[in-house]
Each structure stands twice: as C-alpha cells, then as structure tokens.
Chain A
Amino acid sequence: MREILRWLFNLSGKELDEATAAMSKDTAKQRLKLVLIQDRLELAPEKLEDMKKEIWEVVSKYMVVDDDFMEFEVRRVDDLTVLVSNIEVKDLSDLTPAPTG
C-alpha cells in the first residue's frame, strides 16, 4: 500500500510519513475544543465528566446509546450560550419503553 501511494504521488519516504502522520493543527483544534467548553461553562474538568456521565445515564435509561460516542459543544448563538450534545443511538429497534412510575 505504502509503495503504491509512493508510486502514485511520487513522494519520497519522508514526505509520505508527513502526509500520513496526524497534522499537529488537528491536535490543537481537538484540545482547544475541550478547553473552550470548560472555559465557557466555567466548569472544572471533573465536573464536566460527571455531567457527561449523568446525561449518558439518563439517556441510556430510554435508549441504547454508544458510551464512547458522546460529543459536547458549547456554542455562542447571538447572546446565548448553548450546550449541544451529540449522542449516537446504537440500536433503534432495541428502544426500551420508558419506565412508568
């Protein structure tokens, strides 16, 4: 595969390493995303983790959700600060009915 890529793009070994390695700006973006959430919420990192866990627990009472895929984002919309969460629903057919009482 490497050889094919090298042949296709006429890259040297070093260039190929650079092209396939994670770009450091992506690491920066990812780290900033998390830091900005904490800053905007003025929440300590452990509190944020607690909140994530609790929200996950509540949602998983009602549907099967992926415990790895849970995204949080704090966005500014005009004057409002909004918390946006993306949670992947694993299996819609397996929706458990809401407990009564």
Chain B
Amino acid sequence: MTGRTIVITSGKGGVGKTTATANIGTALAMRGNRVVVVDTDIGLRNLDVIMGLENRIVYDLVNVIEGVCKLNQAMISDKHDYELYLIPAAQTRDKNSIEPEQLREMCVELEKEFDYVLIDCPAGIEQGFKNATAAAQEAIIVTTPEVSAIRDADRIIGLLESSGLHNPKLIINRIAPEMVKRGDMMDQKDVESLLAVEVIGLVPADEQTVVAANRGIPVVHNAKSSAGGAFMRIAARVDGEDIPLMDLEPKNGLLSRFKGMVGMSGRAYSHA
C-alpha cells in the first residue's frame, strides 16, 4: 500500500489548520481509510488537545526522529472504532530539532501502512514549514475570507510552487453567510479570483466548532453541525468523490428554511 501524504498549511496562524487536520483526518477514517495525523508544530503542539488525546502521550515526533522510540510507540490510537492515529509534536523542543529529510523518511514509512498521512504544519514560513512541506506530495491551504489570511495564503502558494508542490487545494474557513450576503465578506468567487487555486471546501463559521474543541471531540462527530458537514464533504473530495461545493446560506434565510422543510439539511447533503 502506498498512501498519500498531505500537508495542511496556511502561513497565517489561527485560521484553523489544526481544526482542519483533526476533522479531515477523522472524517477520512470514518470513511474507512487508515489514517495517521502528524503534528509538526514542535513547541506549540495542539492537535492532541483538539482530538482529545492529550492525556495519552508518551512519546512524540522528536523521539521517533531521534530513535528514542519506535514509530508505532509514538502513534496514539483514537478512541473510536476506526483506524485513526496521532503522532504528537514535542512540546519542549524547538523546530530545529528535526530536518526535512528526516520527516520525509518517516512519512515514507507511514505511507506503507496508511492510506493517508496528514501533516499539521506550523504557522509561518520558517524551518517548521520547510520540514512539513518537504514531507508531503500534496498540500491543502486553509484560509479565512480576510485580507491578512488571504495575503499569507498567496505567499504560501508561491513558496509551495517553488518547492515543487503544485496544485494546492484551498479551504475557505469560517465563512459568515450573513456577512457575505450583505457584501461585508469576500465569497468563494472573490477568493478564487485572487488566489487562482482550486477550492476544495467552504466551511461556515459554526459555534459547534468551538464546543467541539472544548470537548476534544472533532466537530465531524456532531451530525447537526454545519462545519462538521463541510469537513465531511472535504474528506469525500480528498477521497476522490466528485461532489459540488455547497452554497452557504444565512441560517434564517428563506432558502435554508425551505431546505429544512423538505428535509435537505446540510447533514443529509453531506452524504450525497
């Protein structure tokens, strides 16, 4: 088996890389794939808390790279009945503790065992970014519809391109449909025209994402959550399904009320 290694990156911090990694990883596993998610944000690890696995860490990524433990000793199994593992970042080391080739070698090993290796990339464009991107063959860029995040995403697209990672896919996260409707937030078309990359997912701002992070249970587990549904569809697209991007309507809009009446909720659509 040769799996796919995908880096999830953004440039700007705080746009939802870790949330995206946890949710796409979980959703891919729910779809029956063998998945491992790797936190490469050394010194500022967070994927463990978003996935609710923080109390089960014994070994970490740097331990694996330095040969302190075996690869499978650092893999924490998710508590559910599917194949999902986390390799946590080291918290007390710095980003220069590993080299790009070392991470690449580790991912080559993981690709033999897993369908998907998802790498949660640190913010910024320094060593941590170089490590994370060197290990991957594909990239997903997370942005929000804000000027700063889009600007940084553009920088990242350029850097990925020059390091040979072509055709990155874009997730536009935290879209507020009411703001888009009144012209106070850029929509999919606006962002696409600026960045000229393919959009693989539109994720609405959803309070349930915060609730999910509080509980350490990725929001894809919440069947009623609009963001969870969006991440399920992203995972399906990553997995090769050709499903259209959904129009995000304001919650109390006429259309969503109509959809509600005829039973076309976001969740139902997510399995289409």
Contacts and interface: CB of A to CB of B under 8 A. Distances in A.
Given A23-B184, A29-B190, A79 B161 contact: yes
Given A33-B194, A76-B157, 8 more contacts: A18-B182, A26-B183, A32-B147, A32-B151, A35-B147, A36-B151, A36-B154, A39-B158
B147 A28 contact: yes
Contacts of B184: 23-25
Given A23-B184, A25-B185, A36 B194 contact: yes
Please indicate which of the listed interface residues A18, A32, A75 has the most CB atoms of chain B within 10 Å of its own CB. A32
B183 A39 contact: no
B194 A32 contact: yes
A81 B31 CA distance: 38
Interface string B153-195: 0110110010000100000000000001011111100100110
A75 B166 contact: no
Interface string A34-74: 01100110000000000000000000000000000000000
A28 B193 CA distance: 13
B147 A24 contact: no
Given A79-B161, A79-B166, A28 B186 contact: yes
A40 B154 contact: yes
A31 interface: yes
B110 interface: no
A31 B185 CA distance: 14
A25 B186 contact: yes
B21 to A, nearest CB: 25
B155 A25 contact: no
Contacts of B268: none
A25 B193 CA distance: 13
A35 B186 contact: no
A24 B184 CA distance: 5
Contacts of A26: 183
Query: Main SS of the interface on chain A?
Result: helix
Contacts of B62: none
Interface of A: 18, 23-26, 28-29, 31-33, 35-36, 39-40, 75-76, 79
Contacts, number: 45
A23 B184 CA distance: 6
A35 B151 contact: yes
Contacts of A25: 180, 183-187, 190
A33 B151 CA distance: 9
Nearest to B154: A36
4 smallest A-B Cβ distances: which pairs?
A23-B183, A25-B186, A24-B184, A36-B154
A29 B194 contact: yes
Contacts of B6: none
Contact of A39 (B147, B154, B166, B187): B154
Nearest to A36: B154
Contacts of B151: 32, 35-36, 39
A36 to B, nearest CB: 5
Contact of B155 (A28, A29, A39, A76): A39
B196 interface: yes
A73 B183 CA distance: 23
A42 to B, nearest CB: 9
